[in-house]
Amino acid sequence: MECAGMLERLMLAQAQECFFEKVVSEGRAPGVCSKVARQVGLYYEEAYAALSAAPLTQHFERGWTSHVQLKAALYYAEACYRCSLELHEKEEIAEEIARLKCGITALADGKKSARGVAPQILDAANRLESNLNANLERAVKENDRVYLMRVPAASSLSSLPAFSLVKPTLMTEVLDASKEKLFATLVPDSSAKSLSKYTEMVDDIIRTQAEKLQQASELTRVRLKEMDLPDSILALEGHSSLPMDLKEDVEAVQISGGPSGFEAELQQLRDLRRVNQELLVQTEELLEKESREDSQFRTQFGTRWTRPQSSTLTKNLQDRLNRFAGNLKQAADSDARIERAVKDHSSLMAILDRRPIESALPTLARPMMSLDANEDAIVGTLKQSLRQLETLGAQRAGLEDMLKEMKRKDDILPKLMTHNGSYDDLFRKEIAKYDSICEEISQNIEAQEQLLMQIQELLDTFDLLFSFFERSLCFSAAQNDAFAAVFNLEDYKASREKSYKQMAAAISKFREIKDNINEGLKFYVTLQDAITNVKQQCSDFVMTRNIQCREMIEDVQRKVAGLNFQDHKSGGASYSSSYSSVGQQTHPNQRTATPPPPPEPQNLPHPSHSQPPYYQPAQPPMASGYAHSRPPYVMPQQPVPPYQAPANNPYPPPQSQQQPPAGHEYGQPAYPGWRGPYYNAHLQQPGSHPPPPYGFPGPYPPPQSGYYKQQ
What does the longest C-alpha to C-alpha distance in the chain come to? 160
H-assigned helices in 90-188: 93-112, 119-142
Residue predicted with more confidence, 80 or 576: 80
The domain of 119 spans 2-156
If you average pLDDT over residues 217-230, what whole number do you get?
80
- Residue 63 CB partners (closer than 8 Å, separation 6+): 116, 117
Q: Which residues of 47-78 are buried (b: 16+ CB within 10 A; e: fewer)?
A: bbebbeeeebeeeeeeebbbbbbbbbbbbbbb
Question: Is 73 within a domain?
Answer: yes
Structure confidence at residue 662 as a pLDDT band (50, 70, 90):
very low
Question: Is 148 within a domain?
Answer: yes
Question: Is 368 within a domain?
Answer: no
Tell me the pTM.
0.43
Residue predicted with more confidence, 473 or 330: 330
% of the chain surpassing 70 pLDDT: 67
Q: What is the chain's length?
A: 711
Question: Is 602 within a domain?
Answer: no
Q: What is the pLDDT of residue 182?
A: 58
- pLDDT surpasses 80 at 86: yes
> pLDDT tens across 18-47, in order?
999 999 999 999 999 999 999 999 999 999
CB 66 within 8 A of CB 115: yes
**Cis preceding linkage at 230, omega within 30:** yes
Q: Interhelix angle for 62-89 vs 2-25, to 10°?
A: 40
Question: Is 98 within a domain?
Answer: yes
If you average pLDDT over residues 236-245, what whole number do you get?
67
> pLDDT tens across 252-311, in order?
888 888 888 888 999 999 999 999 999 999 999 999 999 999 899 888 888 888 888 888
> pLDDT tens across 122-153, in order?
999 999 999 999 999 999 999 998 888 899 99
CB 78 within 8 A of CB 30: no
Chain CA centroid to CA 145, Å:
27
If you average pLDDT over residues 339-356, what whole number do you get?
85
359-364, Cβ contacts within 8 angstroms, sequence gap of 24 or more: 360/499, 360/503, 361/235, 361/240, 361/242, 361/496, 361/499, 362/235, 362/240, 362/492, 362/495, 362/496, 362/499, 363/235, 363/236, 363/238, 363/240, 364/232, 364/235, 364/236, 364/487, 364/489, 364/492
How many angstroms separate the CA atoms of 335 and 708, rounded?
Answer: 9
How many angstroms separate the CA atoms of 298 and 311, rounded?
Answer: 13
Question: Is 632 within a domain?
Answer: no
**Mean pLDDT, the chain, as a whole number?**
74
Q: What is the pLDDT of residue 44?
A: 94
For residue 15, what is the domain's CATH number?
Answer: 1.25.40.280
- Give the number of domains in the chain: 1
